[in-house]
Amino acid sequence: MRHFLVLSLLALAGCQSAVPAGDASSGLYVYTDAQGNLVTMERPAERKSAPPAKLPESTSSPEADASSPQAMDNIEDYRPSGEVDQELEDRENQRFVTYVDETGQLVSRPIDMGAERAAAASAPPAYEAVPSGGFMETYRALRADCCLHMLESAQQLEPGSEKLVTFDEDSLQMAGENGYRASVFRLDQGLSSVTLNAFLKKAGYLAVELLWLDAEGSPVMLVDQPFSRKYPETWYRYGYLQGTLEREAGQQYLVVFLPYSEEQPGTDGLLKVTQGELVLMGK
């Protein structure tokens, strides 16, 4: 029995030595696992990297390189620095528009500024002129001291500034029988003109009038129609009426007031409302 076990181990050893463990030519790897089983696995073939190609040695001298065709081409490609600077300046002055096309690609193309200016000059205005029928004299019964009590609370209007004017139940009122709602502004010394924007919401707007006062707060000029342009509504803003008035000598205060107390239709087809906002801009 002992001899048979010895013979079995010798036979097993002979089987293991029949296939080399590390035979690179066979591509197999053979080993005995922990349970004594003979396991044969395929070894991946080793790839030998090719030796780097040897570059041809240059036997030309520096004098020969200078006179070679390639060197001559480099000399012909030389451009004066002034020409290069001019080209860079022209590129900096170019204008481009970048957008995503229908295929999702980012596209950039130059803009012909001459054509853009010509198109802008020939384009119709973005507003409609408000028909006025010419200028005519009018009057409104106002007290000479209608706004004296509001001068202390007057807001300063400076060039480049914007003021939001709100009309509601809490607005100040002018002195007098009608008690018109009003807002008063003190004009800066450098102010030359005033622009007024009244928003159009559901065909309704604040049909305000303007009253200019002198340094003592006495009325010197009444403007009953300050708007001259009408901008239509777009997808990103309301429509609005706009007017610009030049400041004249002696005008120190500006009163923006509503000459009515109830909503009413206007002669321009719009509705005159009693509550809302408008923007006053100084220049």
Q: What residues does each domain of the chain span?
A: 148-282
* Residue 210 bridge partners (DSSP): 223, 256
**CB-CB contact of 205 with 198 (8 Å):** yes
Please give the single-letter amino acid code of residue 63: E
pLDDT at 14: 46
Task: Tell which phi-psi region holds residue 183, choosing left (phi > 0), alpha (psi between -120 and 50) or beta.
Answer: beta
Q: Model confidence at 54, in pLDDT bands (50, 70, 90)?
A: low
Nearest to 256 by CA among 193, 165, 191, 189: 165
Q: Model confidence at 23, in pLDDT bands (50, 70, 90)?
A: very low
pLDDT at 79: 75
pLDDT at 210 over 50: yes
pLDDT at 48: 57
What phi and psi, each to the nearest 5 degrees, are found at residue 114?
A: -60, -45
C-alpha 114 chain-centroid distance: 24
pLDDT at 111 over 50: yes
**Spatial distance between the Cα atoms of 71 and 65, rounded to a whole number of angstroms:** 7
Higher pLDDT, 211 or 138: 211
**CB-CB contact of 248 with 260 (8 Å):** no
DSSP result, the chain: -HHHHHHHHHHHHHHHTTS-TTBTTTTEEEEE-TTS-EEEEEPPPPPPPPPPPPPPPP---HHHHHTSHHHHHHHHT---HHHHHHHHHHHHH-EEEEEE-TTS-EEEEEE-HHHHHHHHHHSPPSSEEPP--S---------TTTTGGGGGGPEEE-TT-EEEEEESTTSEE-SSSS--EEEEEEEPTT--EEEEEEEEBTTEE---EEEEE-TTS-EEEEES----EEEPP-SSS-EEEEEEEE--TT--EEEEE-S-SS-EE-TTS-EE-SSEEEEEEE-
Q: Once rounded to an integer, what is the mean pLDDT over residues 28-37?
A: 75
pLDDT at 92 over 50: yes
Q: Once rounded to an integer, what is the mean pLDDT over residues 149-158?
A: 95
Under CATH, which architecture does the 148-282 domain have? Answer: Sandwich (2.60)
Whether pTM exceeds 0.85: no
Q: Model confidence at 181, in pLDDT bands (50, 70, 90)?
A: very high
Residue 197, both tokens: 């924007």
Calculate the alpha carbon distances from 206 to 127, 168, 189 in Å.
19, 11, 28
**Spatial distance between the Cα atoms of 198 and 270, rounded to a whole number of angstroms:** 12
Q: Once rounded to an integer, what is the mean pLDDT over residues 155-164?
A: 95
List pLDDT tens digits, range 228-243.
999 988 888 889 999 9
What phi and psi, each to the nearest 5 degrees, are found at residue 149?
A: -75, -10
pLDDT at 219: 95
* Residue 184 bridge partners (DSSP): 255
Residue 275, both tokens: 């509550």
Q: Once rounded to an integer, what is the mean pLDDT over residues 32-57?
A: 67
Give the Cβ contact number of residue 268 at 10 Å.
16
